[in-house]
Structure formats: structure tokens, C-alpha cells
Amino acid sequence: KNLQVERLNDIDVNAVKRAEKMKLWRITPTGIERCESKNTDYLLTLKYFLKYLEASGYAVAPQINENIQLPSNFNITPGGLTDKETSSLRKFLVFNVGSNRERRDTALMFLLLTTDISLTEALAIRVSAKAGKTLPCGDFGEDESGIFVNIVGKGKAVRRIYLATETLHFLNFYLENRSQSSAFLFCKASGKTASSPITTKSAQKILSEILQQCDIEVEQEQLLSVLRQTAKLLEEKMRKTAVKPATEKISSNRQTNMRLVTVAA
């Protein structure tokens, strides 16, 4: 049950953060302990622990972790980013606004981090009915509870997602400064098809590159799951601290053809 080391200080949390992120083990006063879960979780925990020991220079046989074979259908849902990783990501994003492309990418990341909107749903969001036509808010709206975006999910079911003030700020900053005339919120930054939404593949690459620049290690195939889990964790924290959604009014003072909502500086 227990995977222990002699001293807690011997554990390099960054080296084992992926396993920790998956909730495969937890740090205890005496070392690390395998979390009670599926039996196969033990194999994956042991595999990563042996890999960690080898990388740390402990006396283990080279590539010993490769001797542990996991079932071909083995799958585990990863956890979200740690508080430290989330803080590092936020600090990076705040200054990642120097170009139209960076403002778009930062707005997308903030939207995914603070809502349970999937990437596919985010890329389908519109800010007007058609390109070049100014409408009040597209898929966005407001009521007594705050500013929201209507998301069309499976079976064309619509759910209302309220936006945090921080997210709203970066969405507005991006829209107010973008040069493209597009009905879609997240459109391509340049080229003949600049009015088209960015593709899912391109968006995944963008998100992955942002995390890499923050020295956050996430497997490509788990990227979107990690972000959605992070959003759930942040949502829970907001609920506990009674953080309210943005309630600023819709702005009628726009320099471009896009109108959304504005936040006081």
C-alpha cells in the first residue's frame, strides 16, 4: 500500500507531478502513499515511482519501469493543474497580450480555465450573427446574475455559462484590438481565411505551447481533460469564496464591428 522514502525532502514533487496530478499518490508526513483506487492504479503508481527513482539517481536497474506492462485499455482521468501551476500560468497570460494572436490565445485559455466549456464549444462561439454585421452581443447576454454566454451542446441543448470578471476583461481586450471582421469569437489571426474560426487541432497546439512556456508538463492527449478539471477546481473555489460573475453593462462604445461587454479599468 505504501511507497515510502526515508525523508520527505527527498521527494521532488515536480519530478512526480504527473502522477500526483492523476491522484495516484499523495504526500504524507513520512513519504508518499498510494491512493486507494482501482487495482490497476497501483501498477501505474509503481511504474512512475520507479521512473522517478531512476531519474533521481537512486540505485535501481536501468529502465526498470518498462518491466511494468499496463492493460491496453487502461485509462485514468487526470486531475487539474496544481495551485502553483495555475498561478504560474496566470502570471504568464497577463503579459501574453503583445499581439493580436497572443491576445486571442490568452482569451481562449482564460475562458477554458474558468468555465466548463469544451474546446469545441469555445471555438463555435459567435460575437455576431454574420461577419461584418454589428449586433449587441452574439451568443453573449446578461441578466440579473451577470454576463453569460449561451453554449449549444449535444442534442442542441443550450446551457448558460456565466463569466468571471477576469475572463471578461481578457475577452474584451482581445475583441477591442483585433483587426479581423469575423462572426466567430476565436478566428484565425491572419491569412485569406482570417474570418474563419481556428481549428481544434490548431487550438490544441496553441494551448500546449502556452503550458510549455510556463514549464507545465501535460501529455498532449490529456491536455483538454486537465484544463477542464482545473476549471472545475477553480469553480469550486469561487463557489466557496462567493465570487460573483461579471455584472458590467454591455458596451455601446466599440471601435470595431464587435460588441461584447466592458469592464471598468
pLDDT digits (tens, 9 = 90+) for 128-159: 755 444 445 678 888 888 889 999 877 788 89
**Region 83-240: CATH code:** 1.10.443.10
Q: Is the pLDDT of residue 29 over 80?
A: no
Q: Please enumerate in sequence order all residues whose Cβ is within 8 A of that of 62, keeping only pairs 6 or more positions apart, or say none.
A: 54
Q: Which helix (H) or strand (E) holds 33?
A: strand 31-34
Q: Please enumerate in sequence order all residues whose Cβ is within 8 A of that of 132, keeping only pairs 6 or more positions apart, or say none.
A: 181, 257
Distance between start and end Cα atoms, the chain? 53
pLDDT digits (tens, 9 = 90+) for 61-106: 777 777 666 655 555 556 788 888 999 999 999 999 999 999 999 9
Section 151-174 average pLDDT: 88
Written as nine digits, the cell of 251 is 458596451
Q: How far is CA 69 from CA 23, 61, 75, 221, in A?
A: 20, 16, 13, 20
Section 106-131 average pLDDT: 87
Per DSSP, the residues of 168-203 read HHHHHHHHHH-----SBSSB-SSSTTTTSBPPHHHH
Domain spans of the chain?
2-67, 83-240
For residues 206 and 262, the model is more confident at 206
Range of weakest confidence among 2-11, 48-57, 86-95, 146-155: 2-11
Residue 158's pLDDT is what? 87
Q: Is the pLDDT of residue 259 over 50?
A: no
Give CA angle at 92 (184, 146), nearest 5°.
50
Residue with grid cell 485499455, as numbered in its chain: 73
Return left, alpha or beta for 45; rule: phi > 0 is left, psi -120 to 50 is alpha, else beta: alpha
Query: Most confidently modeled of 51-55, 212-216, 239-243?
Result: 212-216
What pTM was computed for the model? 0.65
Residue 234's pLDDT is what? 82
